[in-house]
A and B are shown apart, each in its own frame.
Chain A
Amino acid sequence: MTHTGALCPAKMVGTMNRYSAFAVAREAFRDHAGWRRAWGNPEPKRRYDVIIIGAGGHGLATAYYLGKNYGITNVAILEKGWLGGGNTGRNTTIIRSNYLQDPSAAIYEKARSLYEDLSQALNYNVMFSPRGVMMLAQTEHEIRGYKRTAHANALQGVATRYIGPDEVKRLCPIIETRGPRYPVLGALWQPRGGTARHDAVAWGYARKCSDMGMDVIQKCEVTGIRQAAGQVTGVTTTRGDIDCDKLGIVVAGHSGHVADMAGFRLPIESVALQALVSEPIKPCMDVVVMANTVHGYMSQSDKGEMVIGGGADGFNNYTQRGSFHHIEETVRALVETFPMISRLKMLRQWGGVVDMTGDRSPILSKTPLGGCFINCGWGTGGFKAIPGSGWATAEMIARGEPGPLAAEFGLDRFAEGRFIDESVAAGVAH
C-alpha cells in the first residue's frame, strides 16, 4: 500500500511513462523493464511557493489544479502517513451530486463532471463507473423531500429524477420493495452518479503532480505552523522547517488539530465513521443504493464485495475504528432492504476520522492567518467531491480569494447564520 519509491531519481519532471495500450505492448517485449515509478520520493526543499498539508484526494487535487489551471508548480504536498491513507482510502467510493442547496449542487456537480473524464485527464484509470445512484424513499416525508430535490436539481442542471417503486425494482431486483416495515415508495435517481476506485484517484493525482515537478512528501508530519505579522511563513515538520508563501490545510478529520497550530478554532468535531465489506459474490447489483430511513447504503465492488456504509459515532474520537454496535445496526437495516444478503459473511471493517460541521457542509475558506487557506468539513461525504473541491481550493489559493464555487463555503457563514443546511436534505449518507 505504501509507495515511497526509495529507488527513484529525485527529479521526476517530464520523465513519467504515458500509460496506453501501446505502452503495455511495448513493455511486454522487454520484460516490463521500462516502467518508471509513478511518482517521486523527494527530500523536502527549504522553500515552496505553496505548501499543501495532506496528501489525500482533496490535497492532491488542490495541488494538481494549482499546476494545471494556474501554472503554480513550486508546490509541496506534505503527508504525515502515506499517500491516500486517510479518508481517501477509507470511504465507500460513492459519487453523486443530488444535493438540495445551490452551492452544494454546484461544487458536487463540478466534481462529478470532472470525474467523467478524469481517467483521460490524469492518464490514470480511476475506474469511474457511472452506474447510477438511487436514494430510496421509504416514508411519505422522504417522497416529498426527494421530489423537492429532483425539482431543485432540474433548476441547477443536475440530471436526477424521481422514480416509482416499479422502476426501483427494475433497476435493482434484489431490493425488497414491499416492506414489511419500510416499503420502498420511490427513489431519487441520478443515472450518472456511481463509484470510482478511491486509491486510484489519489495515485492518479499524485502521479500528475509529481510529473509537473511538485514534491509529494510522505512520512512528513507537520508539527507547527510558523507565522510573522499575521502572515504564514512556513511549517515545522518532522523532516525540518519548510518555508512557503501560501499554505493550504487539507487534512479532513485532523483539521481542528492543525488549525490549533495555526492559532484558530474551527466549527468542527471529529468522529469515526465506519464501513465494511462482505465476502465477494457474483454480480447481483449494478447500481448504488442508499436507504436513509433505515440507515444504510450499499453497492457492489468490481471484486464482488458488497460495500456497506455504516454509522458515525456520536462522540468525538480519532480512532479510525468506530463503535462496534454500528455494524449491527447497519447490517440489520440492510438485511431488511436486501434479504438476500442475510447469509453473507462480512469480510472486513474499517473506520475513518470525519470532520463534521454544524450545517454538514464543507468549509473552503480563508483563515484568520494571512496566506493560510483551509479546505475541510466534508464530513461523511468527501470522496465524491475531490475534483471539484481541488478545483475550487486551487482557485482560492492562486487568487487569494474564493471563487464562485467556494464563495458560499466560507468560515464566516457560521457567524452570519448563512448556513448551507444539507443535514436534513442528505439524510444519513451525506
Chain B
Amino acid sequence: MLTLTCPYCGIACDETELSPGGEAHITRFGPGSSDQEFETYLFQRENPKGVHFERWRHAYGCGKWFHAARNTVTLEVYGTYSAQVFEPPQSVKDAISAKLPDWSWRGLA
C-alpha cells in the first residue's frame, strides 16, 4: 500500500487515509485565456512513465492539501511538500536526481 508522509501533521499515512488530487503545479486559466490555454488547464496532462508531481489531501487526518513527488512505475515516493509552492523544493528535486539523474518533468528539472 502506498504510504505518504503528510508534510503538515507529519504522520505517515496509508493511501486509504488520503484522497488523490491529480497532477500538481498546473497553472489555472479561466476567463480571458485562449482556448488552448483553457483546454490545456482542463484536460492535458503530463501522465509520465516515471517522476510525477501530484496533489494529495490528507482527507481522514488534518484535511490539508499537500504535494508528493512519486514514481508512477515503481511507486517510489521521493518526498512530500507544501502545496503552497509553485515548484518542488530543491530537497525533493535532489532526492529524485540521486535516484534518476536524467529525470525531467515539464521545465522543472
Contacts and interface: CB of A to CB of B under 8 A. Distances in A.
Interface of A: 254, 256-257, 265-270, 313-319, 323-325, 357-358, 414-415
A140 to B, nearest CB: 27
Contacts of B49: 254, 256-257, 318
A209 B44 CA distance: 35
Contact of A415 (B15, B35, B52): B35
A267 B43 contact: yes
A268 B49 CA distance: 13
A316 B42 contact: no
B47 interface: yes
- SS class, residues of chain A in contact with chain B: loop
Contact of B1 (A265, A266, A325): A325
A374 to B, nearest CB: 14
B97 interface: no
Contact of B42 (A268, A313, A318, A414): A414
A254 B23 CA distance: 17
Interface in B1-30: 1-2, 15-16, 19-20, 22-23
Most buried by A among B1, B43, B54: B43
A12 B48 CA distance: 38
B43 A323 contact: no
B39 A316 contact: no
A268 B15 contact: no
Contacts of B95: none
B36 interface: yes
A266 B54 contact: no
Contact of B73 (A256, A314, A319, A357): A319
Nearest to B40: A265
A324 B1 contact: yes
Nearest to B36: A415
Contacts of A267: 39, 43-45
B72 interface: yes
Contacts of B52: 316
A323 B42 contact: no
Contact of A325 (B15, B42, B75): B15
Contacts of B19: 314
18 contacts: A254-B49, A257-B48, A265-B44, A265-B45, A267-B44, A269-B23, A269-B45, A313-B20, A315-B20, A315-B54, A316-B23, A316-B47, A316-B54, A318-B72, A319-B73, A319-B75, A414-B39, A415-B39
A323 B18 CA distance: 13
A269 B75 contact: no
A255 to B, nearest CB: 8
Contacts of A314: 19-20
Contact of B43 (A316, A318, A358): A358
Contacts of A358: 42-43
Interface string B72-98: 110100000000000000000000000
B26 to A, nearest CB: 12
B29 to A, nearest CB: 13
Contacts of B23: 269, 316
Given A265-B44, A315-B20, A325-B15, 13 more contacts: A257-B49, A265-B46, A268-B45, A268-B47, A269-B22, A270-B72, A315-B2, A316-B47, A317-B75, A319-B72, A358-B43, A414-B42, A415-B39
A267 B73 CA distance: 20
Contact of B47 (A266, A313, A319, A415): A266
A388 to B, nearest CB: 24
B3 to A, nearest CB: 12
A325 B43 CA distance: 28
Most buried by B among A267, A313, A316, A319: A316
A420 to B, nearest CB: 14
